[in-house]
Amino acid sequence: MARNDPQVNFRIPSELKAKLDAAAQENGRTLTAELILRLEMTFEQDDNLKDVMERIDKIEDALSDLEYHSNDHSRRIDNLEGRY
């Protein structure tokens, strides 16, 4: 990372800082590299979640269409069999 990248200073709970320090050491990264990776991963997760939600919406729409057509076919069969 270049030295001219912007700096961000903020406070975090000491327990979280300890976890980040331990993760950085365990993963062989600097604290900065660990923070950047974890932040980038949250944006990827957001994108993945958005994609999953869009897929769920499409599946729900398709299911609704299938239910409509199934009910329509059932009504037609009932009509043909003289049930209504």
| CA–CA separation, 67 and 13 (whole Å) | 51
- Name the pTM for this structure: 0.63
Q: How confident is the model at residue 81 (pLDDT cuts 50, 70, 90)?
A: confident
Q: Please compute the mean of the pLDDT values over residues 46-66 and round it to a whole number.
A: 96
Domain ranges of the chain: 14-80
How confident is the model at residue 1, as a pLDDT?
Answer: 56
C-alpha 21: how far from chain center: 26
| 3-state DSSP assignment of residue 56 | helix
Give the position of tokens 């993945």: 48
- Counting DSSP H helices and E strands in the chain, the numbers are 2, 0
Q: How confident is the model at residue 73 (pLDDT cuts 50, 70, 90)?
A: confident
How confident is the model at residue 49, as a pLDDT?
Answer: 97
| CA–CA separation, 57 and 67 (whole Å) | 15
